[in-house]
A and B are shown apart, each in its own frame.
Chain A
Amino acid sequence: MGGMGRLKSYVWRYWRRYFFGVLCLLGTVTVVMWIPRWLREAVRIIEQGGSLSDVTGYALIIMAAGVLQGIIRTLSRSLIFNAGRDIEYDLRNDLFAHLQKLPLSYYHSQRTGDLMSRVINDISAVRALLGPGILNLFNTPVYFVYAVILMFSMDIRLTLVALLPSPLLIWAVRQFRGRIMKSSLAVQRQMAELSSHIQENLSGMHVVKAYTQEENQIRQFVKLNEEYQEKNMVLAQLRGLIGPCMQGFNGLSVMAVLGYGGLRVIRGELLVADIVAFIAYLNVLAWPTAAFGWMLSLVERGRAAMERLEEIFKAEPEISSADHPAAPVESNIAVEFRHVWFAHDAKANGHAVLKDISFTLPKGRTLAIVGRTGAGKSTLAQLLPRLYDATAGEILIGGREIRSLSLAELRRGIGYVPQDPFLFSASLSRNLSFGRDGISEQEILAANRLTRLDRDVAIFPEGLGTVVGERGITLSGGQKQRATLARALLTDAPMVVLDDCLSSVDAQTEDEILRGLRSVVKEKTCLIISHRISAVKDADEILVLDEGRIIERGTHAELVERGGLYAELHRQQQLSEELEQI
Chain B
Amino acid sequence: MDQPNKVNGKTAEDVRPKTGQPSPVPDHEDEIFGKAYDFQLIRRLWRFLVPYRRLFWLAMLVLPLQQLFALTQPYIMKVAIDRYIAGAQLWGLQGMALLFLFALVGEVVTAYLHYYLTMLVAQRSLADLRVAIFTHVQKLPMSYFDRNPVGRLVTRMTTDVDVLQEMFAAGVMTLISDFLMVAWIVVIMFTLHVQLALVSLALTPFMLLAINFFRVKARRTYRLIRERIARINAYLGEAISGMAVIQLFVREQNSYREFDELNGAHREANQLSNIYEAGLYSMVEAVGTVSIGLLLWYGGGEVLHGIIGIGTLVAFKEYLHRFFVPLRDFSQKYTVMQSAMSAAERIVHLLDTPIAISSPAKPVVPKPFRGAVSFEDVWFNYKPNDPVLKGVSFNVAPGEKVAIVGATGSGKTTTIKLLSRFYDIQRGSIKVGGADVRDWDLQALRRHIGVVLQDVFLFSGDIRSNLCLGNGAVPEERVLEAVKYTNSDRFVSRLAGGLDAKVRERGSNFSTGQRQLLSLARVLVFQPEILVLDEATSSVDTETESLIQDALEKVMKDRTCLVIAHRLSTIRNADRIIVLHHGEVREVGSHAELMQKQGIYYRLYQLQYQMEEQKRGGLIGEAKV
* Candidates B107, B162, B274; contact of A77 at CB < 8 Å: B274
Binds A, one of B190-198, B491-499, B550-558, B604-612: B604-612
Indicate if the CB atoms of B142 and A209 lie closer than 8 Å.
Answer: yes
* Candidates A93, A100, A212, A471; contact of B447 at CB < 8 Å: A212
* Candidates B245, B287, B321, B443; contact of A66 at CB < 8 Å: B287
* Candidates A39, A65, A89; contact of B264 at CB < 8 Å: A89
29 A-B contact pairs sorted by A residue (CB < 8 Å): A42-B300, A46-B304, A52-B300, A58-B296, A66-B289, A74-B282, A75-B278, A82-B275, A85-B270, A97-B252, A112-B240, A119-B236, A198-B157, A199-B154, A204-B459, A205-B145, A216-B469, A226-B127, A248-B107, A248-B108, A255-B101, A259-B100, A266-B93, A272-B310, A385-B248, A425-B234, A575-B606, A579-B603, A582-B603
Binds B, one of A148-156, A236-244, A323-331, A442-450: A236-244
Interface size on B, residues (CB 8 A): 146
For the complex formed, measure the closest distance between the CB of A461 and the CB atoms of chain B, giving whole angstroms: 14
- Taking CB atoms, residues of chain A closer than 8 Å to B621 are 546-547, 551, 565
Interface string of A88-110 (1 = CB under 8 A from B): 11001100110111101001000
For the complex formed, measure the closest distance between the CB of A316 and the CB atoms of chain B, giving whole angstroms: 15
- Once A205-B142, A207-B457, A210-B446 are accepted as A-B contacts, the answer to whether A35 and B289 lie under 8 Å apart by CB is yes
Could you tell me the distance between the alpha carbons of A59 and B300 in the complex, rounded to whole angstroms?
A: 9
* Candidates B111, B131, B505, B604; contact of A222 at CB < 8 Å: B131
- Taking CB atoms, residues of chain A closer than 8 Å to B285 are 66, 69-70, 73
**Cβ of A218 under 8 Å from chain B:** yes
* Candidates B294, B318, B471; contact of A59 at CB < 8 Å: B294
Indicate if the CB atoms of B256 and A214 lie closer than 8 Å.
Answer: no
Q: A532-575: which have CB < 8 Å to B?
A: 546-547, 549-553, 564-565, 568, 572, 575
| A287, closest chain B residue (CB) | B325
* Candidates A120, A258, A473, A551; contact of B100 at CB < 8 Å: A258
- Taking CB atoms, residues of chain B closer than 8 Å to A220 are 470
* Residues of A in contact with B (beta carbons under 8 Å apart): 35, 39, 42-43, 45-47, 49, 52, 55-56, 58-63, 65-67, 69-71, 73-78, 81-82, 85-86, 88-89, 92-93, 96-97, 99-102, 104, 107, 112-113, 115-116, 119-120, 131, 191, 194-196, 198-222, 225-226, 228-229, 232-233, 236-237, 239-241, 243-245, 247-248, 251-252, 254-255, 258-259, 262-263, 265-266, 272, 275-276, 279-280, 283, 385, 387, 408, 411-412, 414, 416, 418, 422, 424-425, 434-435, 469-471, 473-474, 487, 491, 546-547, 549-553, 564-565, 568, 572, 575-576, 578-580, 582
Could you tell me the distance between the alpha carbons of A280 and B320 in the complex, rounded to whole angstroms?
A: 12
Indicate if the CB atoms of B293 and A96 lie closer than 8 Å.
Answer: no
| A255, closest chain B residue (CB) | B100
Could you tell me the distance between the alpha carbons of A81 and B447 in the complex, rounded to whole angstroms?
A: 60
- Taking CB atoms, residues of chain A closer than 8 Å to B157 are 194, 198
**Cβ of B323 under 8 Å from chain A:** no
* Candidates B241, B293, B321; contact of A112 at CB < 8 Å: B241
Q: B558-600: which have CB < 8 Å to A?
A: 581, 586, 599-600
For the complex formed, measure the closest distance between the CB of B458 and the CB atoms of chain A, giving whole angstroms: 8
**Cβ of B184 under 8 Å from chain A:** no
**Cβ of B213 under 8 Å from chain A:** no
Indicate if the CB atoms of A411 and B250 lie closer than 8 Å.
Answer: yes
- Taking CB atoms, residues of chain A closer than 8 Å to B77 are 258, 279
Could you tell me the distance between the alpha carbons of A491 and B245 in the complex, rounded to whole angstroms?
A: 13
- Taking CB atoms, residues of chain A closer than 8 Å to B96 are 258-259, 262
- Once A195-B158, A248-B104 are accepted as A-B contacts, the answer to whether A229 and B25 lie under 8 Å apart by CB is no
* Candidates B243, B300, B443; contact of A212 at CB < 8 Å: B443
